[in-house]
Amino acid sequence: MAKLYFYYASMNAGKSTTLLQADFNYRERGMNTMLFTAAVDDRFAAGTITSRIGLEAPATPFDVATDLAACVAERQAREPLACVLVDEAQFLSAGQVAQLARICDVLNVPVLAYGLRTDFQGRLFEGSARLLAIADALIEIKSVCVCGRKAIMNLRVDAQGRAIAEGAQTEIGGNDLYVALCRRHFSEALGS
């Protein structure tokens, strides 16, 4: 039976790079894959998964209205799929995570979802919370804080590098807006 995997990490841990490597491994062996990425992430080319080290691949953009299971079933009807890979999985709705589970359980296609666990306030994203609850396997991709400890938090910063504690849950950015920190340094930066 196919499984639902959730690979999670803080910002800048290499989630997209790991996804693109997994995709390459499947395709190198002649297997078909289907990639999804969040439409809201427009830092690079729309409909493209891009890693900070320069790897990229085309992907189907999703938003809250996208029926992932229908997209996969339609593609599966044309060609067999060996794997579905989802970047920016924190932006999935709980319903879309249920669709990913159905892709595994009904279509028998494994799904590898990659995303953040928490936002800049240390709160779970909807998609991440649901994936943490129902995924068959949870895999942490580790990143490093400035002190050398494991980074598990995402600090949002302004242009001067000062911590931001309030605002919308989603603000798309990279190293210009976020710093991955251990819990201690995250708390110290916020003064808590």
Known binding residue 12? Answer is: yes
Known binding residue 16? Answer is: yes
Known binding residue 31? Answer is: no
Quote the CA–CA distance of 92 and 115 in Å, as a whole number.
10
Nearest to 37 by CA among 11, 68, 9: 68
Beta strands 178-181 and 153-157: pairing type? Answer: antiparallel
Known binding residue 90? Answer is: yes
Catalytic residue from among 74, 88, 126, 171:
88
Position 54: which residue type? G
Which residues have C-beta within 8 Å of that of residue 92, sequence separation ≥ 6? 62, 86, 100, 113, 115, 126, 127, 130, 131
Known binding residue 57? Answer is: no
Known binding residue 147? Answer is: yes
User: Does the active-site annotation cover 28?
Assistant: no
Query: Distance of CA 170 to CAs 17, 34, 81, 140, Å?
Result: 21, 25, 31, 21
Two tokens, residue 154:
């995402």
Known binding residue 178? Answer is: yes
Known binding residue 145? Answer is: yes
Known binding residue 21? Answer is: no
Q: Which residues are annotated as a binding site for substrate?
A: 178
Q: Which residues are annotated as a binding site for Zn(2+)?
A: 145, 147, 182, 185
Q: Which residues are annotated as a binding site for ATP?
A: 9-16, 87-90
For the annotated catalytic residues, the residue numbers are: 88
Q: Which residues are annotated as a binding site?
A: 9-16, 87-90, 145, 147, 178, 182, 185
